[in-house]
Amino acid sequence: MEEQDYTRRSQRPKKRKLRKGRAIFTLLLLCIIVIVGYAVMQYRSGLELANDTKVAQEDFSGDTIKGDIENYLILGVDTRGEEKSRTDTMMVLSWNKANNDIKLVSFMRDIYADIPGYQSYKLNTAYYLDGVQLLKDTLTNMFGLPIHHYALIDFKNFESLVDILAPNGVEMDVEKDMSENIGVELKQGVHHLNGQELLGYARFRHDAEGDFGRVARQQKVIEALKTELLTPTNMLNLPKFVGAAQGYITTDYSSAEEMQQVLKLLSKGKVNIEKATIPIEGSYQFQNFSHAGDSIVIDVEQNKAFLSEFLGISLE
C-alpha cells in the first residue's frame, strides 16, 4: 500500500511539468497564429492599396546568368500620366549571391549613347524610344554589361512606398536649402523626410553640381532606405510594404520570385552597398549636339575597364 502511494506521489510533478509544457506550447502557437494573421492582413492591405497603380509590364529578355552575380537594371520614371517618359534614374544593382556583396552603379542620364536602331541620343532617351529592353540593349552594347532582370517604379509610387516603410520619415542630412523644380521646400540640416520630400531631395539638380550632385543624392537615398528596411522598429511595416511593392514596382519577376529574392538577400545578414557612378572622373567631356542638346561624351573603354574591376566580372 505504501509503495503504491509513493508511486502516485512521484508521478505528480511529471504531470504538472507536462501541463506547463503544453500551456507554453499553446501560448507560442497562438502567438505565431496572431503574427502570421497580422502579416497576411497587412500584406493584403498593401496589395489593395497599390491595386492598378504600377507602370505596365514590358517585354524583357534578360541575359543568361553565369556564376554567382546577378545584375538588376533599376529605373525610376516620372510618367505624369503620359504614355511615354524618360528615365530620370538609371542604376544597375549587382548582387554577388556567394558573399552577399552589393554594388550599385548609377549611370548619368545625359551620357551620349549609341542607341541600337536609332540615332545617338542621351542615354535616358532609350527608354522613351522603346522601353526597358532598348535601354538594356544600349547599356549592354556600350559596356558589355550583362543585365539579368529589371525593376521599374514611377515616382508617385516611390513616395507611397517610403511612407509605408517609414511613417515617421527617413532621416536625411540635407546639405543645402532646396526647392527649385522639386515640388517641396527643404531646409539645410538633418530632417525626417516623408516620401514626397525624399523624392524631391533625390531629384534636385539646380546647383553647381547639376546631375552629378543629383546622382550622389540618389545613392544616398538608396542607402538610407536600406537602413530603414533593416531597422527592427520598422518590422511591423514590412508586410504592408512588401504587398504594396508587388503593385507599385514593375519587374520581370513573378510575385513569388520577388519574395524569394528578398528573403535570400535578408537571410544572409548585414547588407553593405558599394556605390559608383558612370562616367568616372576624368573620363568625359561636355558637348552640345543640335539634335540632343548638352550631353556627356565619355571614354567608353575607360569606363568599361572600371566597371569590370568594380563589379568583378569580365565584360565582353
Task: Judge whether residue 118 has pLDDT over 70.
Answer: yes
Task: Judge whether residue 259 has pLDDT over 70.
Answer: no
Nearest by Cα to 293 from 81, 136, 80, 86: 86
pLDDT above 70: percentage of residues in the chain: 85
pTM comes to 0.84
**DSSP state, 236?**
G
Q: Report, as an integer, the average pLDDT of 232-249.
A: 85
Tell me the per-residue pLDDT of 119-176, one tens digit each, with 9 for 90 and over: 999 999 999 999 999 999 999 999 999 999 999 998 889 999 999 999 999 999 999 9
Residue 110 near residue 186, CB atoms below 8 Å: no
**Residue type for position 291:** H
Q: How confident is the model at residue 244 (pLDDT cuts 50, 70, 90)?
A: confident
The C-alpha cell at 168 is 515617421
Q: How far apart are CA 37 and CA 57, in angstroms?
A: 30
- pLDDT value of position 191: 96
Tell me the per-residue pLDDT of 10-27, one tens digit each, with 9 for 90 and over: 555 656 666 777 777 788
pLDDT above 90: percentage of residues in the chain: 54
Q: What are the DSSP calls for 203-260, one per residue?
A: H---STTHHHHHHHHHHHHHHHHHHHHT-GGGGGGHHHHHHHHHHHEEESS-HHHHHH
Task: Judge whether residue 6 has pLDDT over 60.
Answer: no
Tell me the per-residue pLDDT of 278-306, one tens digit each, with 9 for 90 and over: 999 999 999 999 999 999 999 999 999 99
- pLDDT value of position 89: 92
| 3-state class (DSSP) for residue 161 | helix
Q: How confident is the model at residue 29 (pLDDT cuts 50, 70, 90)?
A: confident
Q: How far apart are CA 146 and CA 264, in angstroms?
A: 21
Higher-confidence residue: 255 or 159? 159
Higher-confidence residue: 10 or 210? 210
Handedness of CA 171, 172, 177, 183 (dihedral sign): negative
Q: Which domains does the chain have, with CATH numbers?
A: 48-309 (3.40.630.190)
Q: Give the list of residues 6+ apart from residue 16 with CB closer than 8 angstroms, or none.
A: none
Phi then psi for residue 175, to 5 deg, are -80, -15
Q: How confident is the model at residue 83 (pLDDT cuts 50, 70, 90)?
A: low
Q: Report, as an integer, the average pLDDT of 185-209.
A: 94
Lowest model confidence (mean pLDDT) among 12-21, 40-49, 238-247: 12-21
